Chain A
């Protein structure tokens, strides 16, 4: 599978990264080199193998239902690039 320029743009769009036109050919080459490299996995026989999804070989612990957090709007908002009152502000979204 090899990426064409349209696919490179589509991925960048999905990833929300603006690409300048002249970046597309370079990225296309680099991404295809990586994909070409990982292509060798197609040779591995994985029939009947369950995927390994995580690094930890345990089952999940559960937390008790208690309020232990929150109540810190100033901390939550302290790093906001645009804050109006106690809200994060972004350019108006039209749904």
Chain B
């Protein structure tokens, strides 16, 4: 076991006890990034100089007795968070030259908490994807390996974050989740990840994909680590009108609460046709574990579940088509010159956006256009209201829901790519919570027949992340997931 295998909680103890220094911990990670990133492509941009500076500052603060909460903890920052003076691309060629003159609220908080930024993690272009193959900077590889040797996707869109944390080249990472972009890659990479309640983390300075769904969250190797990170990321921000003005509870403490007496709902509609038997089995294990830990298991119905994905594939592209209109080659980013302004726009956007982004921008443009708005967008918003109502009614009877995170384990690059809809089905279990704005977490809970990790998802009430952490911790303890990916720092030849 090396420094790279520490959890954040353990690293904080070791730093506090001066068994290790932040500089040592950071250097170990910088070395691991240098060794593994050429293979994994988990980072678009690495920032070793910034990391070293912050590590030194963390050690100095600790020596002075005023170390902030995350002093010296090396993190991967999804390249959707704007970072002042550090290139921020959203994995799009159109932002390849963009250096923000400002910092996102979440990364500003993490910086103030003394954490160490190792670099900007790869993702699906503008966070649109479930496999990381849509990145304009090349796909990310999942550090888990299959016997057939095929390169696996890490999931998406926070695939670089998940891959980096699983491969032990970062202790934790930020992610963003619009329809499952934290939970699905966490599940694919065998780590934990939480999408908190919409409004818990500020969206200020996060490159927008779908504003009514986008939410930042934390990814780490344990539930407790996710809680520690989320605590530092969360809180009211007057620069985001959708940010919730309410206190941030002690998430870490909630992890130890236990589940005795909690009512856990099992939604019938998540038992979809053709679900892999091993996923079904894992789900049953989760139910048994929670029962044994003292929870009451209650069957519930979320009748509009099946409509989650179609709603999502109208609402998210609609908002995206508008959010991405600003990438026009005039004020920042890449430009392709044209003979007039319209020509410049069309060439710039044709060259700057990848295929998936173009598809979604076009779908979004269509569903908002005159004559189609009512049939698509307005109807989708109404069904979205019904999905929220399903959750509200269920939460009158239960405290949290337990479901699988994704319908399969990680697949190989090239698989499931016949058409966009097949790929979209990856998000079938994660999308409803995004539409309702409720918190949801994926916990590594088992492996499929080929040894690939599988996750379970815990969904809670609005602003009740504490129960989500309590239930997730109970699952984590019972599952005893200790398997390690083949590609990881210190393990590669």
Give A contacts to B, CB under 8 Å: 1, 3, 7-8, 11-12, 14-19, 27, 30-31, 33-35, 37-42, 44, 46, 49-58, 60-61, 63, 72, 75-76, 78-82, 88, 90-93
Contact = CB atoms under 8 A, between A and B. Distances in A.
Nearest to A26: B355
Closest 8 CB pairs of A and B: A51-B381, A79-B332, A55-B198, A18-B346, A81-B335, A52-B385, A46-B382, A18-B350
Contacts of B383: 41, 44, 46, 49
A37 B310 contact: yes
Given A30-B419, A38-B376, A91-B338, A17 B333 contact: no
Interface residues of B, number: 73
A15 B330 CA distance: 16
Given A12-B362, A17-B362, A90-B344, A57 B462 contact: yes
Contact of A51 (B101, B330, B378): B378
A52 B384 contact: yes
Contacts, number: 169
> Chain B at the A interface: mostly helix, strand, loop or mixed?
helix
A57 B437 contact: yes
B417 to A, nearest CB: 12
B384 A38 contact: no
Given A17-B353, A50-B385, A52-B384, A44 B304 contact: yes
A24 B334 CA distance: 24
A91 B212 contact: no
Contacts of A27: 358-359, 362
B313 A15 contact: no
Interface stretch (B34-42, B241-249, B395-403, B452-460): B241-249
B232 to A, nearest CB: 22
Contacts of A92: 340
Contact of B341 (A1, A19, A51, A91): A91
Contact of A49 (B98, B310, B329, B386): B386
Given A15-B362, A44-B307, A33 B420 contact: yes
B349 to A, nearest CB: 5
B230 to A, nearest CB: 17
A48 to B, nearest CB: 9
B99 interface: yes
B346 A16 contact: yes
A1 to B, nearest CB: 7
A9 B367 CA distance: 15
B307 A41 contact: yes
B270 interface: no
A90 B375 CA distance: 37
A35 B342 contact: no
B331 interface: yes
A91 B339 contact: yes
